[in-house]
A = this chain, B = another copy of it.
Amino acid sequence: MSGQIPLVSPSFLKCSSCSLGKLCLPVGLDKKDMLELEQIIENFSPYKNDEKVFEADQKFDKIFAVKSGMFKTLVIDTQGNEHIVGFHLPGELFGLDAIYPKKYIATAMAIGTSSVCAIDYPELERLSGKFPSLQHQMFSLMSKEVHNSQSMMVEYSADQKLAGFLLSLSSRYKQRGYSETRMHLIMPRRDIANHLNMAPETVSRLFKRFQSDGVVDIKRTDLSILDMEKLRQLAGCASDC
């Protein structure tokens, strides 16, 4: 398990009782509308580490909301290299990039034991037309997604990319009510490196340098941000300032 995220419990299967309601799709829905939203949501049993939620090229029919744990989405290029497109935290949606092409572009996998809500997309469109606040939230979340991936393009040096990545995690955890300074990097270094287009060795060296500069404290998967301001400077503030 991720260490930060509580295990999914049976009482946790409905939006109305889900602690992620403030971040996830149901923002602004009243009880009655939320019940209707719950009708189109399917709850799967938790995925094990590296288990696939969907694969690239598969027909698109559902979008997914992370309920607990963490998921990664990745694409495979013609040379067979994997590229991790994103890490997804509780309350975040993935599969949104599949709406336009009507098929999944990436493959989604669990990191550690993790669970999702599966939301039928045609039904979601229908309900969005019916509930303005649901539609608003969908536009907001997609806008955020656009913004996130664009801000990733802006950093170019390895320092900036890694610092930006840590800041992004930090602010996303903060939003979810977790500490913004202490977190668990449950994904392997290799995955962080891959996501940021760098070698695992570079990640390792940078972490060491950040540590000796007093910016962070890292022991295996445990990260503490000691100097948020310095980290922002390192990132060039492209990600979150």
A: which residues have CB within 8 A of B?
75, 77-79, 81, 83, 85-86, 96-101, 105-106, 125-126, 128-130, 132, 135-136, 138-147, 149-154, 156, 197, 232-233, 236-238, 241
Q: Report chain B residues within 8 Å CB of A135.
A: 125, 128-129, 135
- CB pair A85–B153 under 8 Å, yes or no, is yes
Question: Given A236-B79, A238-B83 in contact, is the A97-B132 Cβ separation under 8 Å?
Answer: no
Distance to closest chain B CB from A227 (angstroms) = 15
Q: Knowing that A83-B153, A106-B150, A128-B129 touch, tell me 17 more A-B residue pairs with CB under 8 angstroms.
A: A78-B232, A78-B233, A78-B236, A78-B241, A86-B150, A97-B143, A97-B146, A97-B150, A99-B143, A100-B143, A101-B147, A105-B147, A129-B130, A129-B135, A149-B149, A149-B153, A153-B153
Q: Report chain B residues within 8 Å CB of A241.
A: 78
Q: Report chain B residues within 8 Å CB of A141.
A: 100
- CB pair A238–B129 under 8 Å, yes or no, is no
Docked complex Cα distance between A140 and B138 (Å):
12
- CB pair A146–B96 under 8 Å, yes or no, is yes
Interface of A: prevailing SS = helix
Docked complex Cα distance between A139 and B81 (Å):
30
Q: List 5 A-B contacts (CB under 8 A).
A: A77-B237, A78-B232, A97-B150, A101-B143, A146-B146
Q: Report chain B residues within 8 Å CB of A153.
A: 83, 85, 149, 152-153, 197
Query: What 6 A-B pairs come out closest when comparing CB atoms?
Result: A99-B143, A149-B149, A100-B143, A97-B147, A78-B237, A77-B236
Distance to closest chain B CB from A164 (angstroms) = 10
Docked complex Cα distance between A36 and B156 (Å):
44
Docked complex Cα distance between A141 and B78 (Å):
26
Q: Report chain B residues within 8 Å CB of A86.
A: 150
- Shortest Cβ distance from A73 into B: residue: B150
- Shortest Cβ distance from A105 into B: residue: B147
Docked complex Cα distance between A139 and B93 (Å):
14
Q: Report chain B residues within 8 Å CB of A151.
A: 75
Q: Report chain B residues within 8 Å CB of A130.
A: 129
Docked complex Cα distance between A152 and B197 (Å):
12
Distance to closest chain B CB from A57 (angstroms) = 12
Docked complex Cα distance between A100 and B146 (Å):
10
- CB pair B146–A83 under 8 Å, yes or no, is no
